[in-house]
Chain A
Amino acid sequence: RKEVEQDPGPFNVPEGATVAFNCTYSNSASQSFFWYRQDCRKEPKLLMSVYSSGNEDGRFTAQLNRASQYISLLIRDSKLSDSATYLCVVTTRGSQGNLIFGKGTKLSVKP
C-alpha cells in the first residue's frame, strides 16, 4: 500500500463548481500535512497546511481526520486559474523531515 494515496483524477469541472479532493495516508505516525499545487512545468507551491481543527483560506478548506488517516481539500467557486495538479503531502515522525508526496490529482477548470 502506498504511503499517500490520492484520487486518480483528472477532474474536469466548469467554472464556479465545487471540487473535493481526498487523500489517505498509511502511517499513523504521520505528523504534518499539506496541500501543494503544481502548475505544468513549474515547482510545487504550498497551498495550505492542514490541521486537525480544519482550516480555511478564502475558497479553500482543508480537513484532517487522524482517526481515519484522511485529508481533504475543498475548492469552492472554482476559477480557471485553479487548474493545476494538487499534491497531498505528509511528513512522518522519524522521517527526518522527508516530504512524502501523493501522486497528485490534476484539475482542469473549463469556461
Chain B
Amino acid sequence: DTEVTQTPKHLVMGMTNKKSLKCEQHMGHRAMYWYKQKAKKPPELMFVYSYEKLSINESVPSRFSPECPNSSLLNLHLHALQPEDSALYLCASSHRQATNYGYTFGSGTRLTVV
C-alpha cells in the first residue's frame, strides 16, 4: 500500500461540475506535488507546495486550483474542466523540495470529464 493516499480513485464529472481531489500523507514530508499523466506519457508537473506554500505553478489553467490546508493534506479543486483534462492525477510528496531521496507517489485519481 502506498503511503500517500489519494481520493477518490476514480471520478467522472461534467464540464459544469465542481469537484475536489484529495491527497494525504503522514510521513512528515514537507513538499507535496500534483502531477498530471496522460496515457502513454510521463507525468507532468502541475504544482509544488513547500512548507505549505505554493512554490511552483507550471502555467496551469485557473480551472485547476490547488490548496494545502496543512503539512499533511493537499487538495486540487476542479471547476469547468474540459474533456482534454481527462487524465490520471498523481499526488506525490518528498522530505523537502529538491531532495536526493526520491518522491513517493499516491495511486492517483483517474479523472474523466464528460
Binding site for B on A (CB under 8 A): 31-32, 34, 41-46, 49, 87, 91, 93, 95-99, 101-104
The verdict on A44 contacting B99 (CB below 8 Å), with A97-B31, A102-B42 known, is: no
Whether A101 pairs with B107 at a CB distance below 8 angstroms is no
Q: How many residues of B contact A (CB 8 A)?
A: 28
A95–B50 alpha-carbon span in the complex (Å): 13
A interface, over-half SS = loop
Using a CB-CB cutoff of 8 Å, which residues 52-102 of chain B contact chain A?
Answer: 55-56, 88, 90, 92, 94, 96-102
| Distance of A57 from chain B, by nearest CB (Å) | 13
Whether B42 pairs with A104 at a CB distance below 8 angstroms is yes
The verdict on A97 contacting B97 (CB below 8 Å), with A87-B42, A103-B42 known, is: yes
Closest A residue to B105 using CB positions: A43
| Distance of A105 from chain B, by nearest CB (Å) | 11
Kindly list chain B residues whose C-beta atoms are within 8 Å of the C-beta of A98. Answer: 45, 48, 56
Whether A97 pairs with B105 at a CB distance below 8 angstroms is no
Kindly list chain A residues whose C-beta atoms are within 8 Å of the C-beta of B94. Answer: 97
- Would you mind naming 8 contact pairs between A and B with Cβ atoms under 8 Å apart? A31-B98, A32-B99, A43-B2, A43-B107, A44-B43, A96-B50, A97-B31, A97-B98
Most chain A CB within 10 A, of B48, B55, B105, B108, is at B105
Whether B41 pairs with A44 at a CB distance below 8 angstroms is no
A103–B110 alpha-carbon span in the complex (Å): 20
Whether A96 pairs with B107 at a CB distance below 8 angstroms is no
| Distance of A67 from chain B, by nearest CB (Å) | 20
The reply on B51 being an interface residue by CB < 8 A is no
A92–B77 alpha-carbon span in the complex (Å): 29
A35–B94 alpha-carbon span in the complex (Å): 16
